[in-house]
Structure 1
């Protein structure tokens, strides 16, 4: 019902939809039903009647397109279509069904088309679809040309106000599939990073905090992911999970609807999600360490707090370039970053503050001079707050491995902040002579990791407090002027 929600002017709230569900939950038949409705049904706003209820009408030019990586995959949808139209409907709309194309007419004579398309962006060019259906978008990536297809068909739809419906299993982080890109866009929407919204995301997943070797726990996880899909044979799925034919990651992704990691991913998404604790928030006066990683235009800038009593990591502020035309001349406002640092010191008991020095040298000097007396440990021998991430490779690497281990053993907590989650899951393994460090997928990758880098700096600062024996010490009291007797 939410897919057809409208505002007071009759415009759709959601123009794009993603349905991410476990394998065998009926995404294909559901898409076939939606496609049939978009093909002939009253799916566009006409008017409000005298009682204020919505009256619908068919699309002015109904042209529904079904896309997948190959024509055989589209059959998951088209085969269901054949059983959806009864004899009365076929007669009323003069439906002429084919293997890959349906023709029909509205009672007023308007021609309607529903077609399955091949995975070629050139053959898709120039269409005017009223509705697009993209199936199994976790398979849509650069290597098979489906990103080009996606860009072409969505541009076609945009020019005529067409709607986009995507269905997918859980994707693999780092493959940069269309499914991953759509999820990232939705996360940025939740963070308020996007100027335009309109993307509806629907996913039912298992709670990641379960022991896959415990059959009862696995059964509960699979049952949760399949929700009300009464046709699913849970016993057969459990047998498949323990058959040894499929991998651990496939069990989580296909049958628990949990996003998994590529081989070079630093953070296991399932382990990261298991660190989620609902309702956590920083409170005024909390003892924290701060980490700051900054950029100018291409990279993001993030100020992260790590609460000392429970290792709760939370971004205080995250500056990222917007998508679209606004990104061309966008730059991080370093004065705004400095103001946020001041705000953090005014509201929390900051025990240590480690900031990367790249692009922020003058600010780091200012922070060291202003806040140095309040801090329990120094970032380096040269600076109270400045920590050169390029010149401390050994510490960065060993601390990175320790932080990854802390996540895998759920010794870190987070509250599900989407920006933080994105950056953690974007981080890639980078091996060096000291062990495993981290980095972006590539120098120019749009998948940023700066919030992870800032979190690592806050984590290193916490470890320095431990080494100095100051983690559990009472914070320093700073003398302040007080007014007595009205003076």
Structure 2
């Protein structure tokens, strides 16, 4: 007989109740103070399973070739939640259920209730881009089985790198993009962990597509567990979410809420409650709201990371521009090594009218050391009622730098300083170069030069407190996608780099000025600045 029909509005047939009951009866908590106790599902997890294993009311069992996805509304699912919600253990529990539990539709009983049964020859693969990532799910799965009621199942061989299933040739095994030889096996279920990291550049996207094609042929099913993704990376998670496939269930918690103001504690805490749901300790779970909030305010954590991993917001990712320890190690404060009048330098200028700082840095041509020449902050002007930079003082400092040192070039961002850039270009012809920092290609090249030198320890600085603070406030974000090369080959990085603030309200002007000064040094060296023992600067530059 078919399904009995709904007994209340909104009810639908599902194997989720049976799968959830099987999990709670056979799976144990893999770690923490409750390790070894029954793995009990939260309300959110129950809801997830009910939808994932939803059945068509008219589902039938094929009499000859029944397949795992027969009768199911969804053959695939994506669970997107913030860090520490419990995605990986739930995916591990699902993998266990697909090895032993009632995940395959087997018809309706005499009361019109669905009946589930185990898959005939289950073969489960757990996929990620690296072994470390597969460990996030395979390690708890190993403990769930080895320390739970199923540990003594005859024929079950629970290994630390793969699990041999009884009664046939089935396995539970981790796979990565590097292990392509194992991607053609007749799998019946695939668990994809951290699909926000699976991209075309690392082979992860191709792996996911190949496995899903394989599952289609077998009639198997799959589930993804992911954090919010970086939309510039075109990850497997993004492809799944934007694919509009009616056979894929997307479980995203309040996905359409606007970005939260990270400086608004009330708003951030409310977002934590929405996104973490039943996993919060205040609701019977394990996540402490205060701990998550503290991480959202940590200076060392970039804003992009906070938004994707804690606020569950799809946003472009960022990473620290400099390693703090390496930056500190490259400081040189010996008075004997400081900049002296007459030395050849290149200058970097980043200006502001009223909001940020205005900075001038010099980079010594002989060794690439960065020196701070001036930093200016807005002061309140009573006549205009506005905050302004003392532009005359800035002009005087720039002039003094050209008079005191052999300045080959000044690279400056002309934004809101165009008039002075023109004046300086008139005073020192061919030595003042406009360098708009919002031009992706040019800024990417300047950042790459600066960061490579810092990594190679060939770039040093004078230990300026402002420059150090601004460097540590800076993050690298992805700009526009690079155009394809004419020869068809791939760039090692597919996007231009741009520099952004880690947090709103933090200043990065000093770092930008230093990057411009180092770029100007590169131009001077290209023009022969280090190849001449002495030269007439005006004549050589005109030439």
What is the TM-score normalised by the length of structure 2?
0.45
- 1:60 CA drift (Å): 1.8
Given candidates 163, 174, 177, the residue that maps to 1:116 is: 174
Q: 2:162 aligns with which of 101, 118, 141?
A: 101
Query: Displacement of 1:248 after TM fit?
Result: 1.7
What are the Cα deviations for residues 406-434 of structure 1, in whole angstroms up to 9, with x where unaligned? xxxxxxxxxxxxxxxxxxxxxxx9989xx
In structure 2, C-alpha distance between the alignment counterparts of 1:180 and 1:430, rounded to whole Å? 27
**Structure with bigger RCO (C-alpha 8 Å, 6+ apart):** 1
Unaligned 5+ runs, structure 2: 1-49, 61-70, 280-284, 319-437, 442-478, 485-543
Check the 8 A contact 2:127/2:175 in 1, yes or no: yes
Where does residue 279 of structure 1 map in the other structure?
A: none
What does residue 220 of structure 1 align with? 270
Residue number among 183, 188, 192 corresponding to 1:125 in the alignment: 183
* 1:163–1:442 distance in 2 versus 1, CA, 3 Å: farther
Instruction: Establish whether residue 18 from structure 1 lines up as the match of residue 78 from structure 2.
Output: yes
Contact 1:132/1:164 (8 A) holds in 2: yes
Question: TM-score under structure 1 normalisation?
Answer: 0.50
1:191-230 aligned at under 5 Å gives the runs 197-205=246-254, 207-208=257-258, 210-229=260-279, 230=285
Deviation at 1:92, TM superposition (A): 3.5
Give distance in 1, aligned partners of 2:128 and 2:305. 21
The worse-fitting range, judged by mean Cα deviation, of 212-221 and 85-94 is 85-94
Give secondary structure in 2 for the equivalent of 1:185.
Answer: coil
> Cα deviation per residue 1:67-103 (whole Å; 9 max; x = unaligned)?
1111121111122123323665233443210012111
Q: Is the 8 A contact 1:19 1:201 kept in 2?
A: yes
Taking the aligned partners of 2:149 and 2:75, their CA distance within structure 1 comes to 31
CA distance in 1, matches of 2:143, 2:317: 39
Change (3 A) 1:430 1:199: farther
User: Which sections of structure 1, spanning at least 5 residues, go unmatched?
Assistant: 190-196, 264-428, 433-437, 444-487
Q: Kindly tell me: are residues 215 and 72 of structure 1, through their superposed partners in 2, closer, same or farther at Cα, counting changes over 3 Å?
A: same
**1:59-458 → structure 2 map (5 Å cutoff):** 59-85=119-145, 88-105=149-166, 109-120=167-178, 122-186=180-244, 189=245, 197-205=246-254, 207-208=257-258, 210-229=260-279, 230-261=285-316
> Quick one: which of 52, 59, 65 aligns to 1:9?
59
The 5 Å alignment of 1:471-486 reads none
**Partner of 1:317 in structure 2?**
none
Q: Kindly tell me the number of residue pairs found equivalent between the two proteins.
A: 262
Deviations 1:190-227 (A, max 9, x none): xxxxxxx2010001147325422111221111221111
Q: 1:243 to 1:439 in 2, by over 3 A?
A: closer
Q: 1:87 to 1:245 in 2, by over 3 A?
A: closer
Change (3 A) 1:131 1:243: same
Distance 1:54 1:99, change over 3 A: same
Please say which structure displays the higher CA radius of gyration.
2
Report the CA distance shift for 1:140/1:209 in structure 2 as closer, same or farther (over 3 A): closer
How big is each residue's C-alpha offset from its partner over 1:203-260, in whole Å with a ceiling of 9 and x where there is no partner? 1147325422111221111221111112112212222221211122221111110101
Cα distance in 2, alignment partners of residues 442 and 111 from structure 1? 48
Q: Which residue of 2 aligns with 1:416?
A: none
Superposition RMSD in Å: 2.6
C-alpha separation in 1, matches of 2:135 and 2:154: 23
Aligned residues of 2:78 and 2:251 also touching (Cα < 8 A): yes
1:162 & 1:199 partners in 2: Cα distance? 13
The Cα offsets for residues 78-132 of structure 1, whole Å up to 9 and x where unpaired, read as 2212332366523344321001211122xxx344311111322622332111000
Report the 3-state secondary structure (helix = DSSP H, G, I; strand = E; otherwise coil) of the residue aligned with 2:237.
helix
In 2, Cα distance between equivalents of 1:57 and 1:111 = 18
Instruction: Give the corresponding residue for 1:43.
Output: 103
- Aligned 8 A contact 1:121 1:148 in 2: no
Query: Which string of whole-angstrom CA distances, capped at 9 and with x for unpartnered residues, describes residues 350-369 of structure 1?
Result: xxxxxxxxxxxxxxxxxxxx
In 2, the alpha carbon distance for the partners of 1:439 and 1:172 equals: 13
Structure 1 counterpart of 2:427: none
